[in-house]
Amino acid sequence: MPIPRQRHTKGRRNRRRSHHALKKTNLTACAKCGQMNLPHQVCLNCGTYAGRDVIDVMAKLTKKEKKQKEREMAAAEAAKPHNT
């Protein structure tokens, strides 16, 4: 039968656990639609990455969902201030 090791102090235990804290996720706003998403990832709302349309999100939607999404995107585009 193995011999139990010596007990660690509370300070040693807490120093080990000091690195176990969770970090907040760094979200950025999409340049086209303003939806919050992870940096360096394709926006799942509008399908753009680095100013280009990468995926067609409308192809996966039903007819009713397409109309609603088009309205939302048009409203977001109209509300976005133009930098000229």
pLDDT in tens, 24-78: 989 999 888 888 999 999 998 888 998 888 888 777 778 888 888 888 878 877 8
Measured between alpha carbons, how far is 32 from 30 in angstroms, rounded to an integer? 6
What separation in angstroms does the CA of 42 have from each of 60, 71, 73? Answer: 16, 21, 16
pLDDT band at 9 (very low <50, low <70, confident <90, very high): very high
Q: Which domain holds residue 50?
A: 25-79
Give the pLDDT of residue 39. Answer: 92
5, part of any domain: no
DSSP H helices, 7-61, are: 10-17
Phi, psi angle pair for 77, to nearest 5°: -70, -40
Domain count, the chain: 1
Q: Is residue 15 part of a domain?
A: no
- Give domain status of residue 12, yes or no: no
Q: Is residue 9 part of a domain?
A: no
Give the pLDDT of residue 19.
Answer: 94
| Gap between the Cα atoms of 25 and 28, Å rounded | 10
Whether the pTM exceeds 0.75: the reply is no
Is the residue at 49 inside a domain? yes
Residue type, 59: A
